């Protein structure tokens, strides 16, 4: 059974979520360099939070380096991997703890953000809207189902708040999103199953960030977003989902107008 304490963060969570949703949708709709710059700024903020988690002495510099590396990667995509790797090496070298994990986590953030830029630029508007809709629907359904229904935990040692009821509800919501976008993306009915897969990837992204936070002994990556915590706390699922989505798009599993 639920009580009022379970919903104490609902109002700030909704208000900040709406604000982020409006700004993000506008950037996605405009596309081009507007979307790229927004993605790079967001990446820089997440890299800053990550550097703080690993006790880097000057995390703002690491965040700026990551954002700059992503800008250069967008301009020079042939050099994206070396640029991203260089940013990861510098940040990991400066980290005060868990340097290999810091490197891997930092690389994941930049690669996923680069994937979003590529998807918006090459897969098109419908594809990126589908991806974001899957992540949002999974999060919203999981939040309400998990807190209303409760039940067995999905992975209690890593993320004690996540339940199987919320996880499955997220899959159902993602399948509905897939059905709605099957026509606009040109992917057909296959997008229903693909959406569930991407939803699960997003959930794993969320759990991966939770594991890093547990390892580093912090509750939230920062307090920048009311009701959500940090930028990483808000976009960790999108990082996981975009990494899988770019692979699916590369292999023509879905493609606008396919």
| pLDDT tens digits, 99-108 | 999 999 999 9
Contacting residues for 147 by C-beta, under 8 A, at least 6 apart:
2, 6, 7, 166
Cα distance between residue 148 and residue 231, in whole Å: 26
- Judge if 113 and 138 occupy the same domain: no
Question: Confidence class of residue 177 from pLDDT cuts 50, 70 and 90?
Answer: very high
Helix (H) or strand (E) holding 153: strand 153-155
- Expressed as residue numbers, the domain containing 100 is 31-123
Q: Among 105, 123, 141, which residue terminates a domain?
A: 123
Same domain, 96 and 137: no
pLDDT digits (tens, 9 = 90+) for 48-91: 999 999 999 999 999 999 999 999 999 999 999 999 999 999 99
User: For residues 124 and 105, which has the higher predicted lDDT (pLDDT)?
Assistant: 105
When pLDDT is averaged across residues 141-161 and rounded to a whole number, the result is: 79
Check residue 1 and give its pLDDT. Answer: 43
Q: Which two tokens stand for residue 56?
A: 């880097």
Last residue within a domain, chosen from 123, 156, 189: 123
Q: Are residues 116 and 221 in the same domain?
A: no
**Buried/exposed 60-85: b ≥16 CB within 10 Å, e otherwise:** eebbebbbebbbbbbeeeeebeebbb
Whether residues 216 and 235 share a domain: the answer is yes
Number of domains in the chain: 2
Where is pLDDT greater, at 131 or 20? 131
Q: Could you tell me the two tokens for 96? A: 């005060």
pLDDT at 228 over 80: no
- Are residues 52 and 161 located together in one domain of the fold? no
Q: Confirm if 153 and 160 have CB atoms less than 8 A apart.
A: yes
**Cα–Cα dist 127/50, whole Å:** 28
Domain end residue (candidates: 66, 98, 123) = 123
- Give the whole-number percent of the chain exceeding pLDDT 70: 92
Q: Within a domain: residue 177?
A: yes
**101 and 181 share one domain:** no
Q: Are residues 222 and 212 in the same domain?
A: yes
55 and 172 co-located in one domain: no
Residue 144 in any domain: the answer is: yes
- Within a domain: 16: no
139 and 211 fall within a common domain = yes
Q: With both helix axes pointing from N to C terminus, report the angle between 99-118 and 59-75 in degrees, rounded to the nearest 10.
A: 40
Indicate whether 8 belongs to any domain.
Answer: no
Please tell me whether residues 223 and 112 are part of one structural domain. no
In a domain, 20, yes or no: no
Statement to judge: residues 141 and 256 lie in one domain: yes
Average predicted confidence (pLDDT) for the chain? 88
Classify residue 4: in a domain, yes or no.
no
Residue 211 has pLDDT above 80, yes or no: yes
Domain membership of residue 5 (yes or no) is no
Asked whether the predicted pLDDT for residue 36 surpasses 50, the reply is yes
pLDDT value, residue 47: 96
- Report yes or no on 49 lying in a domain: yes
Same domain for 113 and 68: yes
């Amino acid at each position: 059974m639920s009580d009022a304490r379970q919903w104490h963060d609902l109002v700030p969570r909704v208000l900040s979520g709406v604000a982020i949703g409006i700004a993000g949708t506008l950037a996605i709709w405009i596309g081009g360099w507007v979307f790229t710059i927004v993605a790079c700024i967001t990446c820089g903020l997440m890299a800053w939070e990550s550097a703080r988690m690993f006790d880097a002495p000057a995390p703002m510099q690491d965040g700026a380096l990551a954002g700059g590396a992503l800008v250069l990667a967008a301009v020079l995509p042939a050099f994206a991997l070396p640029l991203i790797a260089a940013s990861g090496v510098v940040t990991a070298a400066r980290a005060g703890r868990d340097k290999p994990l810091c490197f891997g986590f930092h690389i994941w953030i930049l690669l996923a953000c680069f994937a979003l830029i590529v998807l918006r630029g090459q897969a098109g508007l419908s594809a990126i809207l589908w991806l974001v809709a899957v992540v949002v629907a999974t999060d919203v359904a999981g939040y309400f189902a998990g807190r209303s229904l409760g039940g067995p935990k999905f992975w209690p040692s890593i993320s004690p708040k996540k339940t199987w009821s919320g996880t499955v509800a997220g899959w159902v919501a993602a399948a509905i999103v897939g059905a709605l976008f099957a026509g606009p993306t040109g992917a057909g009915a296959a997008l229903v199953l693909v959406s569930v897969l991407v939803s699960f990837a997003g959930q794993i992204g969320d759990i991966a960030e939770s594991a890093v936070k547990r390892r580093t002994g912090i509750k939230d990556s920062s307090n920048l977003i009311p009701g959500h915590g940090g930028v990483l706390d808000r976009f960790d699922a999108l990082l996981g989902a975009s990494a899988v989505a770019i692979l699916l798009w590369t292999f023509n599993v879905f493609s606008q107008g396919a």
